[in-house]
Structure 1
């Protein structure tokens, strides 16, 4: 019997495979955006909306409106030229006309725009009296029924079409199984609710699918009551997390750092070559009270540039040392760390030497022998105060008993770095958490302090030491550069010193900026015939991040000693540099700097009794103007020297996420609330957070988890 032939293999379903492959792309894009669960999709709210619910007569249209127009195609041609474009002429039923232009076009569009065809076009209307124009409008068939609601436009990514995203969200909304986690009595007190309390489900459905007639502007401004409900949810979660972090910290134990009445803090204050300001005394007392408790201090010391935070930190360190514990001070840059080290050695070393203790210096760039000696002194407990950069938290650094950690310019450090410093309490401090003092020369606006630092006690130095002179700020265009250099010649001839700050070290083809090296050469040539008050040729120094550490130190010491008249530098001098004889600062390409950074740089002058000036040298673009954001920053600098007002404006320009830098406290995850606009809701959330934890902790925990999830971990730092 002949062998039976094997059955042929089944033909693959090519169409099914193709459909599956096409679906995989958008699904992967959804995962990239973190849109995995129905909850994720429900909280992915529209950026804006388009109104296809009504056709706008051209006679009623206004310039700049986004509108849906309908009409008959009169003509359609591809116009040749350097850039081919498809141009169609549309006549509406009310006698108006609109020109449709496409710089990128497809055969399907040409087919829809066949003369005589009826079409609808959606886009931004431009023109009016000279004739209406739409560029790259959306084309739709004129016989299709109009939708019953506004069309949402979502944030998306490559490979994720709006239509696919809309469909995914529409499928997710009915699957939401969210119980209300905000008590009805809390919602009844919500500011702006106007008697109508929206459920979370109602608010989400409304914002994803607003009905026809909903004013677009109210939605775009996030002023609609449905937006109010989401903002309340989000801010309450953030405040609940802050309250939870504070309560958790209260359960931890820390060493009691109480100094004797005639101990090191009193000796330090008596030895200082200046009197403390009232603000310094008040803040030092607040810190001393915290250190004397068995719970870990978690305090932010904020103060404007030059308000004297270092001496407050020295007094805090003195409390720890007098109680028999070590203190570590970590700064983000070697220059700033070295400035602190110089002051702290001068103030504290004479008082520590009789006790057999020392102030230790620790950075990554120090010689091996010096580093080994510092590490040994730290481990033995002989180094009572350790000052340094990130090197302080490296693995080989072992403290005997760390009782106080001080982090300067805390926003420049990440969460993990601050946690690493606090984890170095030492074997003798097993089970105890070191106290934490964070310092910032960037004052935190009130609303941001409530939101970002609700779990932190905030102390503010709001008084400058006597003898400081106000700094006059002048805006000068690059075209007047020669006048600025002439001003520098006059200043150095009188024995004054000058900073010139540049944003780059070397010329960049991408950015047309003068480099620090080129400016240094230019100023050295311009000042080569100038003599200082002692008749000596003036020197021009150069300082930037790429210089070796020893060279940086030498340049700074020469400038501080008055041997260098003009210091050309990048932003490495942003914080920490203190030269009272410097009375003029020029910031080149000031339009490229952030507002907070400009204020920090300006704080390098006016540190003595000399009248001081900060020149913001800006370079307009090819159109002769600078950007609107840059104008706002420069205007703020010219109008005020108040660091708190600067911080308020900076927050308005940049938003909380960028303002806070690396803290990542949960505020950068605020997706819906605006801290300045929504302050009443923030106050409501603060009030109800503690109440909800006490009344219903399970509901409070569920609310935090829903909105913040893993972000809660950031509050530990």
Structure 2
């Protein structure tokens, strides 16, 4: 397919990233608030906050979701395609058609910049988007991105992404280059967002303060500062790919360092031994109408070893639905209870918490274990609930196992001697939620469970701070 080439290319540096002019004398700090810059209007600041962008670093690390090659454009298609393409043309006609009362179709006809006898116009259509009509006028040059479809005898794009190209001093930022396309929001156009980032890159100080390399030199090539420049305004697709690789490796390396730090902190955090002799566990296993599988017995032994250690347990238990994770969790809680400690069983929903509570009651009532339920809507305890307190028994015994939802995170649920925290379906809880329950002194043991299959490499990457047991 022939392409319409545009002659001007932005200058590049030797390392492959876009060359940025140095005429701006002022410089910004990476940690500086965008509001302190003074040149971003307040409505744009509010729009940026909706994207979670409040500092210079936030904006510089708001990476493009894709790039468009606006150095050259293909000819307008004559057939439809399932692959979205980027096209540029001049608006030759606009029209607004109404149908069905209040419904509207706004159509824009685009013509190629250098048409020939075989060139066909492209019709872009938007349904009930009134603001688009105010943004496009005849004679403007537009870049559109979408899937061409054959509608009758016309080639159309329905609801394409578009950008009006204005011939001003900033045209080199948005046109005749590999152009970044960002996640945006209402009140913040691609043009405005791209211009802000371009200006910030110009105003960065000459030092690498705040943008230092985070990875070893043998892991990622180049500097982080150059990678951030190149991911926004790459001089070539190769430079874009190299910057993307550098930033991905940097992010994974930082995540691994954080996980290693958490693991190191957990290993030196002092805890207590929360393991009993196992008499209660033996009584439970004898009362069950089935025998544990070899995998369940192996995992219980691993947990038992952790409970008997003086450092806090931090273990992930994964297994398919029906593999017997609940039985393993009950065994762990019985060991903690026999050691003289309380156990907390945390479920993501009230229904699941009530189901666990019913199972624990059936299994543990014959053993004399006191179980309580604590959710936002329901609070119950097993065992006798006397109507009158007697003089010699004025204090109710505390529950040994408490089952609940996020209600266990709040102060109204008190633990006098918490030794074990079990979190079911851990992927539905945030890290901060789990930490709030387990951040006690002395540190309780923590067992988190999931039925979501996690490949070994991914498990090591994301849950590297946890010991992993699998019921296979």
**Normalising by structure 1, what TM-score?**
0.50
User: Where in structure 2 are there 5+ consecutive unaligned residues?
Assistant: 1-37
Residue number among 321, 340, 360 corresponding to 1:324 in the alignment: 340
Whether the aligned pair in 1 keeps the contact of 2:106 and 2:133 (CA below 8 Å) is no
Q: How does 1:482-501 map to 2 (within 5 A)?
A: none
* Structure 1 counterpart of 2:120: 97
Is 1:271 the counterpart of 2:287? The answer is yes
Q: Can you list the C-alpha shifts for 1:676-707, whole angstroms capped at 9, x where unaligned?
A: xxxxxxxxxxxxxxxxxxxxxxxxxxxxxxxx
Shift of 1:141: 7.4
Whether the aligned pair in 2 keeps the contact of 1:362 and 1:391 (CA below 8 Å) is no
* Structure 1 counterpart of 2:219: 186
* Structure 2 counterpart of 1:433: 443
Shift of 1:209: 0.8
* Structure 2 counterpart of 1:280: 296
Residue number among 194, 204, 214 corresponding to 1:166 in the alignment: 194
Shift of 1:337: 3.5
**Larger % of strand: which?**
2
Is 1:112 the counterpart of 2:112? The answer is no
* Structure 1 counterpart of 2:274: 257
Residue number among 217, 231, 237 corresponding to 2:254 in the alignment: 237
Q: Can you list the C-alpha shifts for 1:22-73, whole angstroms capped at 9, x where unaligned?
A: 92211332344343333222211112222321243448998455344457x8
Tell me the SS of whatever aligns to 1:362: strand
Is 1:156 the counterpart of 2:184? The answer is yes
Residue number among 431, 437, 459 corresponding to 1:449 in the alignment: 459
Is 1:301 the counterpart of 2:334? The answer is no
Whether the aligned pair in 1 keeps the contact of 2:353 and 2:403 (CA below 8 Å) is yes
Q: Can you list the C-alpha shifts for 1:156-209, whole angstroms capped at 9, x where unaligned?
A: 22222222211211122241632222221333xxxxxxxxx2322222211111
Whether the aligned pair in 1 keeps the contact of 2:94 and 2:138 (CA below 8 Å) is no
Whether the aligned pair in 2 keeps the contact of 1:87 and 1:100 (CA below 8 Å) is yes
* Structure 2 counterpart of 1:126: 148
**Normalising by structure 2, what TM-score?**
0.72
Distance between the aligned counterparts of 2:164 and 2:349, measured in 1?
56
- Larger mean Cα displacement after TM superposition, 53-62 or 175-184: 53-62
Distance between the aligned counterparts of 2:307 and 2:380, measured in 1?
35
Distance between the aligned counterparts of 2:120 and 2:378, measured in 1?
72
Q: Can you list the C-alpha shifts for 1:461-486, whole angstroms capped at 9, x where unaligned?
A: 11xxxxxxxxxxxxxxxxxxxxxxxx
Q: How does 1:63-82 map to 2 (within 5 A)?
A: 63=81, 64=83, 66-69=85-88, 76=93, 78=95, 82=99
Q: How does 1:190-209 map to 2 (within 5 A)?
A: 197-209=221-233
Whether the aligned pair in 1 keeps the contact of 2:350 and 2:405 (CA below 8 Å) is yes
Q: 1:102 to 1:22 in 2, by over 3 A?
A: farther
Whether the aligned pair in 2 keeps the contact of 1:57 and 1:94 (CA below 8 Å) is no
Shift of 1:419: 3.7
Whether the aligned pair in 2 keeps the contact of 1:381 and 1:400 (CA below 8 Å) is no
Q: How does 1:632-671 map to 2 (within 5 A)?
A: none
Q: 1:371 to 1:171 in 2, by over 3 A?
A: farther
What is the count of residue pairs matched by the alignment?
A: 406
Q: 1:208 to 1:21 in 2, by over 3 A?
A: closer
User: Where in structure 1 are there 5+ consecutive unaligned residues?
Assistant: 1-19, 114-118, 188-196, 426-430, 463-717
Distance between the aligned counterparts of 1:316 and 1:344, measured in 2?
13
Whether the aligned pair in 2 keeps the contact of 1:359 and 1:387 (CA below 8 Å) is no
Q: Can you list the C-alpha shifts for 1:213-264, whole angstroms capped at 9, x where unaligned?
A: 638xx96xxxx2221111111111111111111111112122113433x633
Whether the aligned pair in 2 keeps the contact of 1:362 and 1:389 (CA below 8 Å) is no
- Larger mean Cα displacement after TM superposition, 25-34 or 246-255: 25-34
Whether the aligned pair in 1 keeps the contact of 2:370 and 2:381 (CA below 8 Å) is no
Whether the aligned pair in 2 keeps the contact of 1:334 and 1:389 (CA below 8 Å) is yes
Q: 1:307 to 1:67 in 2, by over 3 A?
A: closer
Shift of 1:415: 4.4
Higher relative contact order (CA 8 A, sep 6+): 2
Whether the aligned pair in 1 keeps the contact of 2:373 and 2:381 (CA below 8 Å) is no
Tell me the SS of whatever aligns to 1:296: coil
**What is the RMSD of the two structures over their aligned residues, measured on CA atoms?**
4.0
Whether the aligned pair in 2 keeps the contact of 1:67 and 1:125 (CA below 8 Å) is no
- Larger mean Cα displacement after TM superposition, 433-442 or 61-70: 61-70
